[in-house]
Structure 1
Amino acid sequence: MDSPLALYRRYRPETFAEVIGQEHVTEPLRAALAGNRVNHAYLFSGPRGCGKTTSARILARALNCEQAPVADPCGECDSCRDLARNGSGSIDVIEIDAASHGGVDDARELREKAFFAPVRSRYKVYIIDEAHMVTTQGFNALLKLVEEPPPHLRFIFATTEPDKVIPTIRSRTHHYPFRLIPPRLLSSYLSELCELEGVTIEPTALPLVVRAGAGSARDTLSVLDQLLGGAGPAGVTYDLASGLLGYTPDTLLDGVVDAFAAGDGASVFGVVDKVIETGQDPRRFTEDLLRRLRDLVIVSAVPDAPATGLIDVSGDQAERLVTQAARFGRAELTRAADLVAAGLTEMRGATAPRLLLELICARVLLPAADHGTDGVLARLDRLERRMAIVGTPATPEAPPPADAPQRAAAPAPAAEAPAPAPTVEAPAPAAEAPAPVPTEPEPEPSAPPAAPAAAAAPAPPEPAAAPASPSTPGTMSLGDVRGLWPTVIDACRSLRKATWSLIGQNAQVVDFDGTVLTLGFPSSGLRDQFLGGGHEPVLLEAMTKAIGLQPRIDAIVHQGASAASPAPTAAPAPVPEPDPPAEPAPPPPRRPRMADIQAEPADLHDPDSAVDRDDADVDAESGADLLVRELGAQVIEETPHQ
């Protein structure tokens, strides 16, 4: 029993109308045949498997058709039947493989036989395949024959490398360049062939077959023939195609892309480990990841790319691409694609491809470590996405005050400041020593720690504190918080390095329901260290500063043992070291006195600190009175000011 022919032989085109993807060649040839303006020599060039030899056979059939001149062979005459797909062949159409018959002796033999007239047909046609393999001496032996052939002789040269055909031959032919077949056209062609074969093929498997064929019709049909041979009752499935062709499954690519978007290093390296454990090639995985990032870059720039056919993917995969692209910024995607492309180049010839793959993933995860333009733009993309998620009112208002903890605590005493003011005005009559009076305004710098807070308390701090927490928690999801968590860790570093080290290395976002953020720690000791070490207020301040969110924090042991959640903190008040303002509020700068520099921070909360130091009664006090009242000093002797 004869085995069936391969698909590329069974479905070889027999007319120019059946040749797909080469209309720029077939249409001029059909016009030349119909108008009887056929040249004596043609050169067909292009990639392998794109239809050069097939078109040469169709041209020979059309030339020798009994109804010629005609654009397409009739398929009914003796010559057309002899040259058909399953025909016996014609003695007047000779195919020569130049790879094995390209020497000068073969060219001389051809030249001697070419002058004999055709036996049955109108023309004797020589189809020289792989013409670039003909030696220079062989071409020189054919040169006179190709330049001035007898009327019954036609030459068709087919080659993948037209530059290797000597110019004297090339200049005497009509050159028709063939091209690779577009993916969408190949996909529809494969669907039609599967219907003719009566085999089902999943839509998600078609792009893999087309990709394996790389635009070559013959190579694509060979791949499809292999899959059809191994298909079961369900037909050609995605799992069969990806496993047999060696491509990375979409589940792994989706997992690593989602982990990149969330900044989840554990998941990223877990995917890399799975790639190695399942025996896949790290280079192929890197290549597939680069292709996925390329698709995401296009979708980010053109959201309807899958619908318009700009990207050849199935419907459900198109939805995944749109969702994944929305979680990145364009600069982030471009930077990641550049890093993966550079790493793929380094992998060629590398002895440790897994190590290079892990380094690539580490670079993609850490845009802050990249001090170049790409890293800055990637971080800017994260900030813009965070602002779009959290909302613009909350994010810019929280960071401006440099002393946020002081100003958050200042409005309460400031509201009560006017009450004790009359009691401070009592020592007004004490106006001794006329000499020190001009220098008494110098103590004014001692008031700035309280005076600016009392002056600024009614207006700026209240709007800044109002929109922080109540309006934003409900607008963010668990995925949003995980995606912005690296930014929160960076904010902790600028506030307190101990908190940054503890949370950055040990804490993990377990859950977020809009108001309560659950943090998981690997052990109860680390959880207790977080709860009892003053780290929670710092984390709340970092979240307010970085993402405008101030939820209640529930710290648990990550293995599942729940811990009692700490009491909710309304504002990040307990900051250990409040710094005094750098400049005094009054316009004229004065040199501070030693008594003012050594003032205790507790004066910030003293009701007397709200008294206006520009008051005339206060200016009337002597230096000794101020020292006694402000510092509780005991004056032994006062030397008059000279």
Structure 2
Amino acid sequence: MFGDSPPIGDSPQEPERPAVAELEAAGQAAMFGDPAPASPPAPAAPQPSTAEGQAYRVLARKYRPQTFSQLIGQEPMVRTLGNAIARGRLAHAFLMTGVRGVGKTSTARLIAKALNCVGPDGQGGPTIDPCGQCEPCRAIAEGRHIDVIEMDAASHTGVNDVREIIEAVRYAAVSARYKIYIIDEVHMLSNSAFNALLKTLEEPPAHVKFLFATTEVDKLPVTVLSRTQRFDLRRIPAATLREHFASICRQEGVEAEDEALGMVAAAAEGSVRDGLSILDQAIAHADADTGGVVTEERVRDMLGLADKSARRRLFASLLGGEAGAMLDEVERQYALGVDPLALVRSLMDLTHQVAVTQVGGGTSSAPTLEERADVEGWAARLSPGQVHRLWQLLLKGHDEVRAAPDPLASAQMALLRVTHAADLPDPGTLASQLSDMLARAPAIPAAPAGEGSAPAAVQAEASVPSIDWAALCDQVEDRGRLRVANLMRDWLRVVELAPGRLVYQLVPGIGDEPTADLRDALREATGIKWQVERGEGEGAPSLREEAESLKHAERERVLADPLVQAAFAAFPGAELIEEERAPAGVATRSRAQ
């Protein structure tokens, strides 16, 4: 059931692992007092070579850390483990989590070596600095130790695989201090397998340690997380990776430019293994024209970073409001196979770099000199408000492109919106301009009394009865006569209103005769008989007409404001958008609620 683990030492080939039945037989012999079979002598580890007849080993395998001092970027975890070993406070289960290539499996193997190291003289104990010379250290490094069992949970996901582990942990270690189970990609185990492992994981025998590694810790059950000591391995900073790659190049006898190593470190995205794979490719990419030197130009071509110069040209055209140049660059990138969504995302990344550079004091961390110079120039020229507005426009465009049936057309329209917005002032500048325009605007004289037309509500104020017509409409509505209440509010013009008497006119366009319905509804609402008739004369506006009149008057007042007139002068073609809300002075129940 146990998958073969790749060799991590210097041996070019991995010795054959013993079968599970042999492991259990050896454990039973040790448990019942029979002499344990001695581990086979370790063969001499030949030095790696690219000579004929020997397979080349990639840098990611050749330079796997063999001691904790070689494990870069994980100092907090190493310090914690060192203190735990020194004080004898070792957990029974460890969980290593992090992105790919930061050293999770390598850390598990180093812990196995640290716990089982006996020193060159065979008298040592657990140590954070395993000697690498004793038989346990060498056997673990070469992947042949009988008591260090690795299992790939991606290919052994079932409960039967875990049941074999549960049966085997009862037997003592054959030749080591601890029997160690390293389960890689542990999140791939099934729920049944996790449940079967829980009891053993919580209370394992004293001679057993579990080491788990996973890239997706959120998929592990909480019951498993609570039974392990968790270490979150961090991404390796680009500067640390660059120094590490430079050291490897010196050991390999390869000359590499600092800018080239910086590009490799940036492309690795915090993963040592990814970076070493890219470095391997870069070394192979170097040819006789450069004397075998890993140059910045070769790495840029290899990684496709030449497109970043096109991205910067596109970004410059956006900031300059050059719509034609922007569209040409988008077409050129699309013809080269660049996805429109990826194009917008790259512009967002560049905007983020500019914002971070502004906050960081004007120094960019871009991998190339040209990109650093451009980003630092934009950071100095643009204001923080402009950068954040650009980010919001690109973010909106990104969502539109992702949902559009034609991503290219959507990307072009979104970027055109950005180019047009480049000519607009930021909010601070706009407020200053409007203030200046307001100061220079002539005063608008107030209309003399009696001049102009007053709102209809004011004209009819003298004819409004003393009884509150709006409150009477609410009473009718409270009695459940909704249709009549709406008719009273929207279509009735009151000519005369007194207790028990209503004379009304209808708004033109209503053909029905509502007198009988009005009489019944008013009697139910007030408890008295009403004389209701359709009369002659000029009635007061209906409640709806009064509200519309007040709304129109409010709009005219706003449009006459000097600040609003200055805003319209600054933005030709702008429109006044009205908010849906109850006009002041209209006390209808629906508005009040």
Structure 2 length normalisation: TM-score? 0.58
Does structure 2 retain, via aligned residues, the 8 Å contact 1:257–1:324? no
Q: Are residues 1:251 and 2:309 paired?
A: yes
Closer, same or farther: CA 209–82 of 1 in aligned 2, 3 Å: same
Cα distance between partner residues in 2 of 1:400 and 1:166: 69
Q: Which amino acid aligns with 1:290?
A: M
Q: Are residues 1:266 and 2:324 paired?
A: yes
2:238 corresponds in structure 1 to 183
Does structure 1 retain, via aligned residues, the 8 Å contact 2:354–2:375? yes
Cα distance between partner residues in 2 of 1:223 and 1:344: 30
Q: Are residues 1:148 and 2:203 paired?
A: yes
Does structure 1 retain, via aligned residues, the 8 Å contact 2:236–2:272? yes
| Equivalent residue in structure 2 for 1:99, among 131, 149, 154 | 154
1:82 corresponds in structure 2 to 139
For residues 589-628 of structure 1, what are the structure 2 equivalents within 5 Å? none
Closer, same or farther: CA 368–195 of 1 in aligned 2, 3 Å: closer
Q: Which amino acid aligns with 2:131?
A: C
Cα distance between partner residues in 2 of 1:304 and 1:352: 38
Closer, same or farther: CA 401–245 of 1 in aligned 2, 3 Å: same
- 1:361 is paired with a residue of what secondary structure? helix
- 2:426 is paired with a residue of what secondary structure? helix
The alignment yields a C-alpha RMSD, in angstroms, of: 3.3
Report how far residue 347 of structure 1 moved. 3.1
Does structure 2 retain, via aligned residues, the 8 Å contact 1:247–1:285? no
Q: Which runs of 5+ in 2 are unaligned?
A: 1-52, 119-123, 443-567, 573-593
Q: Which amino acid aligns with 1:77?
A: C
* 1:569-603 CA-partner distances (Å, limit 9, x unpaired): xxxxxxxxxxxxxxxxxxxxxxxxxxxxxxxxxxx
2:79 corresponds in structure 1 to 27
* 1:544-576 CA-partner distances (Å, limit 9, x unpaired): xxxxxxxxxxxxxxxxxxxxxxxxxxxxxxxxx
* 1:461-519 CA-partner distances (Å, limit 9, x unpaired): xxxxxxxxxxxxxxxxxxxxxxxxxxxxxxxx989x9xxxxxxxxxxxxxxxxxxxxxx
Cα distance between partner residues in 2 of 1:383 and 1:187: 48
- 2:130 is paired with a residue of what secondary structure? coil
| Equivalent residue in structure 2 for 1:357, among 402, 411, 431 | 411
Does structure 2 retain, via aligned residues, the 8 Å contact 1:143–1:168? yes
- 2:99 is paired with a residue of what secondary structure? coil
Closer, same or farther: CA 340–27 of 1 in aligned 2, 3 Å: same
Report how far residue 258 of structure 1 moved. 2.8
Does structure 2 retain, via aligned residues, the 8 Å contact 1:98–1:131? yes
1:635 corresponds in structure 2 to none
- 1:43 is paired with a residue of what secondary structure? strand
Closer, same or farther: CA 185–312 of 1 in aligned 2, 3 Å: farther
Cα distance between partner residues in 2 of 1:160 and 1:254: 34
* 1:109-151 CA-partner distances (Å, limit 9, x unpaired): 1122222222221111111111112222222322332233222
| Equivalent residue in structure 1 for 2:339, among 267, 270, 281 | 281
Closer, same or farther: CA 136–263 of 1 in aligned 2, 3 Å: closer
- 1:155 is paired with a residue of what secondary structure? strand
Cα distance between partner residues in 1 of 2:406 and 2:263: 27
Q: Which amino acid aligns with 2:215?
A: T
Cα distance between partner residues in 1 of 2:399 and 2:247: 38
- 2:175 is paired with a residue of what secondary structure? coil
1:334 corresponds in structure 2 to 388
Q: Which amino acid aligns with 2:126?
A: P
* 1:228-280 CA-partner distances (Å, limit 9, x unpaired): 22232434444444444344534323322332333222322232233234343
Q: Are residues 1:292 and 2:350 paired?
A: yes
Cα distance between partner residues in 2 of 1:147 and 1:301: 48
Q: Are residues 1:58 and 2:107 paired?
A: no
Cα distance between partner residues in 2 of 1:381 and 1:223: 49
Q: Which amino acid aligns with 1:137?
A: S
Closer, same or farther: CA 319–368 of 1 in aligned 2, 3 Å: closer
| Equivalent residue in structure 2 for 1:44, among 78, 96, 112 | 96
2:70 corresponds in structure 1 to 18
Report how far residue 378 of structure 1 moved. 6.6
Identity, in percent, stands at: 36
* 1:292-316 CA-partner distances (Å, limit 9, x unpaired): 221222233444333xxxx344445
1:605 corresponds in structure 2 to none
Q: Which runs of 5+ in 1 are unaligned?
A: 370-374, 385-395, 403-492, 498-642
Q: Which amino acid aligns with 1:69?
A: P
